[in-house]
Amino acid sequence: MNNFFFKIETKIKLTDILNILKVPRIDFLNVNKKINKNIENIFIKDFVSLSNLKKDKLSFYANKKYDLKNVSSGICIIEKKNLRLINNEVIKIPYNNPKKGFSIILEKYFGNFHLKNKINNIHPSAIVHKTAKIGNNVSIGAFSFIDKGVVIGNDTFISERVSISCNCKIGKGCFLGVGSVIEYTIIDKKVTISSNTVIGKSGFGFIPNKSKTHLIPHIGGVFIGEGTNIGAGCTIDRGLIDDTFIGKYVMIDNQVHVGHNSTIDDFCILAGQVGLSGSVVLKKNVTIGGDVSIKDNIIIGEDSIIAGASKVFNSFPKGSYIGGSPAQNIQDWKRIVASQRLNLKKRKNN
């Protein structure tokens, strides 16, 4: 943990961690035979990576390839099946998904860290139109602009230099990062939008005509569902006629582009530098690796996975595992690559 930026503000007891993870005390004591049954006086002073685990520090073990020889003290969240791999001097917290458990703890103590020490009010330099409806416990940062007819729900945090255009709606408990721009967009509750992301600008739709080429007016909007997270430096175009749609609990990394009229269904994951052309449809629970490009009007079926750096020119059905350029079933792609390498080796030998 970077102690310059992040600080533990209250004493954290080991028993607090057990309570958060709902680990029964008897289970804990059964895997820590050397510990005195009075564990109330054990405190956690830092959260660290496994390689930096020391006394009074907390980490987790989830990667079996990691060398545990130098880990000889501290407190570690670990699966029961891996207990024998770690030094007996380490205090062990049994948990079936250590990384998830560690994440739950960080969420508990640092989940709203960006809101700490912030005064929940409207900064004097912010411009808020008189017709805007601002909920309770809303913060609006310096030099932000809230246009006419905007609705902002309770407990939402608007950072500095944010622009929200007329009639946009921001749900309860949202976070908008520094410099974000929101136009023609309706945002559901608990949505996070990171710094310098632009949502709702006109898409790249035009009629080519040499010097008279111009963008077609886009009269659609953008809808973003509950719990979605959008990274920094992303661009999401509004629809040409119908809306661009992003569903619930979608995870979008930094520097992702979503073209006009695209549909991203619930629980999809898009890694950094993904680019979706116009009218792309991602069904539920699609996972896309970094630096993937998808041609316009492509449909990717539910539960599909696209490997990083793939270039997708065709639609794929439910449950596909896709890779390569041009993208295809990843097993076919691997066979082609293997065959090409074999042929190259044969040519070199000849």
Task: List the catalytic residues.
Answer: 260
Question: In b/e form, how buried is each residue of 297-335, taking b as 16+ CB within 10 angstroms?
Answer: ebebbbebbbbeebebeeebeeebebbbeebbebeebee
DSSP 259-280: -TT-EE-TT-EE-TT-EE-TT-
Contacts of 267 (CB under 8 A, 6+ apart): 247, 248, 249, 250, 284, 285
* Rg of the Cα atoms in the chain: 25
How far apart, in whole angstroms, are the C-alpha atoms of residue 178 and residue 235? 15
**DSSP per-residue letters across 177-246:** -TT-EE-SEEE-TT-EE-TT-EEEE--S-EE--GGG-EEPPP---EEE-TT-EE-TT-EEEPPSSSPEEE
Q: Which helix (H) or strand (E) holds 34?
A: none
Q: Which tokens is 84 given?
A: 């024998």
Percent helix, percent strand, percent coil in the chain, to nearest 5? 20, 25, 55
